[in-house]
Structure 1
Amino acid sequence: MADPHGFLTYPRREPTHKPVPLRLLSFGEVYENFGEDQLKQQAARCMDCGVPFCHQGCPLGNIIPEWNDLVRQNRWQEALERLHATNNFPEFTGRLCPAPCEGACVLAINDDAVSIKNIELEIIEHGFQEGWITPIRPSMDTGQSVAVIGSGAAGLAAAQQLTRAGHRVTVFERDDRLGGLMRYGVPEYKMENRWIDRRLEQMRAEGTNFRTSFAPTLADLAGFSAVVLATGTPVPRPLDVPGRELAGIYPAMEYLTAQNKSNEGDSPRSLIDARGKKVIIIGGGDTGTDCFGTALRQGAASVTQVDIRPEAPATRSPKTPWPMFPLIKRVATAHEEGEYRISGDESAAEIEALGLATRMPGEPLGQRLFNAGSMAFNGVDGQVSSLQCVDIEVIEGKRVPVPGTDFHLEADLVFIALGFSGAERSGLFSELGLQADSRGRISRGSEYRAQASPRFPGFEAPIYIAGDNGRGQSLIVWAIAEGRAAAAAVDRDLMGESALPVAVRPEDKPLAV
């Protein structure tokens, strides 16, 4: 059984972060190593609850109490087996998932939750270091072929499950490299792309085929037994205000992709470079925060993140009671960097590298504004020069501007990070005769089957929808869960039955808000 005194003996601890001036010099990951002894103490905080709500908080149904206690007992290989039983890519979720499991942890009712996410990451990295993670090749060839469109988390999870079930799987990716938003939408200071390449090497050895820089048509998919669409929701939500046409205003993902392509060696510097510029980010979510950290690393003169929402409380809000994902003010590593203040003791090399020459001692590198609405862009000679804002208040559940509170923020670059409005409506969407709901999600049935009406004679392969394009913009852990569940649906339809595990259904709702 678990250590009955662990949560009383050990406080929650997390890996320390590299010093801000050091981590702003590169796009390397910001976390220091977490000692094995400390990790065992953190695992010992898990109470092995009679009803482990962390299972319900996790869309993958991770067997969290079991692998926590196995880590505590130094039984790492068994912990890895438990972890991989429900999650194809713990190295991705351990770096990128916001951990709804921790919000549902029973200990979080009146104490700090178990640091589940950090333990998960250490288990998988320990497994790679020990050489325990090897290709799992299928034991048979079913003779069935499956096309997976999209190589993000959902597509890769579906492809790996179907390959291991014995199907011949080809993943099609329109970008020049595999990984979807994990590669081109997530800054490398959160997850370096080498971890994606490491897992892709395993998948290739298992027999999954990949085609990059290729967006297939129905004609290209002729002959496949089934098709899984895992194309995400790449269409950005627009900001329809005066001045949007000015130069210097970009969708957030365009900016993040440009920097990640530069990190891959495509160009010496990003094609959208914030160095020495006043940057405004509209949107307070994860994508906006990713832009915040990226602009700081590029050496922006100033960075301001504008959030229309009110500042969240420091502790769990009554609006999100346990076991829901708590509504609290979250300080990402990028925000830590924004709070860093110039000491005046920085070396000339640091000042040059970090773009600090225009900053005064004591001045923070960036700031966040809450309850701020974006009303219009102003420009000079076609180039954006400022953003007109107004204070926002909530009246009867609606956000309304406060009269007389207009203010302006100077801007050389603006990034719009207001989320995504759904799947693209061209290409296969049009050819297959797919339908979308009011949120831009592709319509599908209870077993991930799309109601497709292909306009290509003789095309009869069933179409399955997995990930954000069916669920809507969501978390990486949901994408992997959906990819696994869609793979089980494909396998069951092709073979009459399936042993592939299913943790979620399309209609399942998260505990997160």
Structure 2
Amino acid sequence: MAANTNFLDIKRENFKEAPPAERVQNWLEYQKLLPAFKLQQQASRCMDCGTPFCQMGTVLQSGTSGCPLYNLIPEWNQLVNEGKWHEAYLRLAKTNNFPEFTSRACPAPCEGSCTAGLASDPVTIKSIEKAIIDKAFQEGWVTPRQPKLKTGKKIAVIGSGPAGLTAADDLNQAGHSVTIYEKADRFGGLLMYGIPNMKLDKNSVERRIELLKAEGIQFIGSTEIGKDISLEELQTAYDAVLLCIGAEKPRELSIEGSHLKGIYAAMDYLTLSTKHYLNKSEEEPAISAKGKRVVVIGGGDTGADCVATAIRQGCKSVAQFGKYGQLSTTREAHNPWPENPQVFTLDYAYEEAKDVLGEDPRQYFIQTKAFIGNENGEVAALETIPFNRFDTSDAASRIWEAELVLIAIGFEGTVSENLSAIETRSNRIKTADNSYQTNVEGVFAAGDARRGQSLIVWAMQEGKKAAQEMEEFLFNKTVLA
């Protein structure tokens, strides 16, 4: 690296962002890259550690630390620092199939375990990664790669989310004929419909899909396994099948009034909002926050995306309920490096709410006790109590008016009712220990369907490892190491 003390001498600079009041007027990506010379300075802050914890990819205290794709982060930081952008892209593409997705949709646990963060601020790994891949597309370095050989083997991948796309890409490059089946009308899974456009522009998803098509992968949309085509038919037509069907069954809040109109699962709301945007419809979305008081139940990233979407739709107000208290502004003793830091941040959605609506929408230690309806069977309010064991009396309850309630409390697991032959465990597809093989020979599973709800980088790692195991199944050897 350049100077050994750059991580101290050069201040960390994050993405540039459009002002909140300006960006809520549209659905465009709100993060902008720094100029190239600034990014080269930021890359020089990398310490080139003897043990690069940023790329270790493991779970510590139930949280992700480092990059599960084992990206060669110090190496491409060095190359960016030297202005060798093409070489940096080649190093990035060596481990990461789709950096344009991870650099936008991943929460960057690599930065949480960056060694520079011990004495200063961590390196801006995510923005450098985004700069590398965006420049690669701009310069025309990302082109269709034709497999060097064809094996004659046919593989079906069910689901076009990050796990399915990653596995399909690796298997196609190994020479197999790959077909992806997707039940939605567009490809990309949660990349397409689960993440709002202002975080991940759908042009980026569609551009990659077109590249994969040009490389020989077949895409079949609006086709659900178990309804439109059976698993048995796929087993007959293909040498192996990979299930990457996600974990999209939402957790339900089974309390009084949960049947009322105006209460929706967060992912249904986000999906319909994105479809409305992509279809360029002039009518109101099927679920709209326009002019309504909105309550989001659940304190995670999906809830934040609901807040940002509701603001763009012109909500009257928005509140987000969380079970736990506000995080500390600094690492606490029970959350040491290199664990992913659990600290208070003002995410994009909350910054927008403060600027546009006048306050941070997050409410802490809140438990919803009941939904209250009007004479039309529509939700009109929520009754809450503090989420602690010390005060659950009626005196501590509170009524919140709301015409739209979005449930963002996570997912129970995969929806596999139409795959009766496949064994499940804890609402996930069951596989052999340290394996991606299901109970049905030749049928594999990867991603959230196998692992449970997780980060995009874990889904992609699952896709890569499942592809390797499928290679071993087909040929008793692998070329995907």
TM-score computed with the length of structure 1 as normaliser: 0.88
Per-residue CA deviation, residues 421-447 of structure 1 (Å, 9 max, x unaligned), is 00113112x1xx222223x12111245
Shift of 1:3: 3.3
Preserved contact between residue 430 and residue 439 of structure 2 (Cα < 8 Å): no
Match of 2:403 among 407, 412, 415: 412
Query: Partners of 2:322 and 2:366 in 1: how far apart?
Result: 6
Query: Partners of 1:220 and 1:260 in 2: how far apart?
Result: 33
Shift of 1:452: 2.4
Match of 2:358 in 1: 364
The SS at the match of 1:147 is strand
Query: Partners of 1:393 and 1:69 in 2: how far apart?
Result: 49
Per-residue CA deviation, residues 118-144 of structure 1 (Å, 9 max, x unaligned), is 111100011111111111111111010
Shift of 1:366: 5.4
Query: Partners of 2:280 and 2:313 in 1: how far apart?
Result: 16
Per-residue CA deviation, residues 72-116 of structure 1 (Å, 9 max, x unaligned), is 000111111110111101110000101111111111123211111
AA partner of residue 475 (structure 1): L
Preserved contact between residue 33 and residue 127 of structure 2 (Cα < 8 Å): no
Match of 1:360 in 2: none
TM alignment of 1:359-438, pairs within 5 A: 364=358, 367-381=361-375, 382-393=377-388, 401=392, 404-428=395-419, 430=420, 433-438=421-426
Q: In the alignment, is residue 139 of structure 1 matched against residue 152 of structure 2?
A: no
The SS at the match of 2:237 is coil
Structure 1 vs Structure 2: percent identity of aligned residues? 43
Query: Partners of 2:451 and 2:383 in 1: how far apart?
Result: 34
Q: In the alignment, is residue 114 of structure 1 matched against residue 123 of structure 2?
A: yes
Match of 1:189 in 2: 198
The SS at the match of 1:376 is strand
Change (3 A) 1:72 1:402: farther
TM alignment of 1:167-316, pairs within 5 A: 167-216=176-225, 217-221=230-234, 222-265=236-279, 267-268=281-282, 269-316=284-331
Preserved contact between residue 2 and residue 48 of structure 1 (Cα < 8 Å): no
Query: Partners of 1:138 and 1:447 in 2: how far apart?
Result: 29
Query: Partners of 1:489 and 1:159 in 2: how far apart?
Result: 13
The SS at the match of 2:368 is strand
Shift of 1:403: 6.2
Structure 2 unaligned regions, length at least 5? 57-65
Query: Partners of 1:471 and 1:317 in 2: how far apart?
Result: 29
AA partner of residue 375 (structure 1): K
Match of 2:135 among 121, 126, 144: 126
Q: In the alignment, is residue 12 of structure 1 matched against residue 3 of structure 2?
A: no
Per-residue CA deviation, residues 433-479 of structure 1 (Å, 9 max, x unaligned), is 222223x12111245333324xxxxxxx5111110011110000111
Match of 1:474 among 451, 454, 457: 454
Preserved contact between residue 449 and residue 462 of structure 1 (Cα < 8 Å): no
Preserved contact between residue 264 and residue 405 of structure 2 (Cα < 8 Å): yes
Query: Partners of 1:146 and 1:487 in 2: how far apart?
Result: 10
AA partner of residue 296 (structure 1): I
Q: Aligned-pair RMSD on alpha carbons?
A: 1.5
Per-residue CA deviation, residues 475-508 of structure 1 (Å, 9 max, x unaligned), is 001111111111111112212211213xxxxxxx
Query: Partners of 2:209 and 2:2 in 1: how far apart?
Result: 35
Preserved contact between residue 302 and residue 365 of structure 1 (Cα < 8 Å): no
Per-residue CA deviation, residues 187-211 of structure 1 (Å, 9 max, x unaligned), is 0010110000111111011100000
Shift of 1:392: 1.8
Match of 2:355 in 1: 340
Query: Partners of 2:281 and 2:256 in 1: how far apart?
Result: 33
Shift of 1:316: 1.4
Match of 2:429 among 422, 439, 442: 442
Query: Partners of 1:495 and 1:364 in 2: how far apart?
Result: 61
Query: Partners of 2:105 and 2:119 in 1: how far apart?
Result: 26
Preserved contact between residue 337 and residue 365 of structure 1 (Cα < 8 Å): no
Count of aligned pairs: 465
Shift of 1:329: 1.5
AA partner of residue 235 (structure 1): K
AA partner of residue 277 (structure 2): N
Shift of 1:17: 1.1
TM-score computed with the length of structure 2 as normaliser: 0.94
Query: Partners of 1:7 and 1:33 in 2: how far apart?
Result: 20
Change (3 A) 1:12 1:27: same
Match of 1:59 in 2: 68
Change (3 A) 1:211 1:251: same
Match of 2:63 in 1: none
Q: Which moved more, 1:318-327 or 1:180-189?
A: 318-327
Shift of 1:295: 0.1
Query: Partners of 1:402 and 1:97 in 2: how far apart?
Result: 41
Q: Which moved more, 1:146-155 or 1:384-393?
A: 384-393
The SS at the match of 1:393 is coil
Query: Partners of 2:102 and 2:210 in 1: how far apart?
Result: 18
AA partner of residue 333 (structure 1): Y
Preserved contact between residue 448 and residue 465 of structure 1 (Cα < 8 Å): no
Flag as ranges the 4+ runs of structure 1 deviating above 6 A: none
AA partner of residue 436 (structure 1): T
Query: Partners of 1:446 and 1:70 in 2: how far apart?
Result: 39
Match of 2:39 in 1: 39
AA partner of residue 396 (structure 2): T
Shift of 1:22: 1.2
Q: In the alignment, is residue 95 of structure 1 matched against residue 104 of structure 2?
A: yes
Q: Which moved more, 1:318-327 or 1:41-50?
A: 318-327
Match of 1:489 in 2: 469
Per-residue CA deviation, residues 302-355 of structure 1 (Å, 9 max, x unaligned), is 0100111111111112222111111111321111001115xxxxxxxxxxxxxx
Match of 1:355 in 2: none
The SS at the match of 2:388 is strand
The SS at the match of 2:110 is helix
Query: Partners of 2:253 and 2:94 in 1: how far apart?
Result: 42
Match of 1:330 in 2: 345
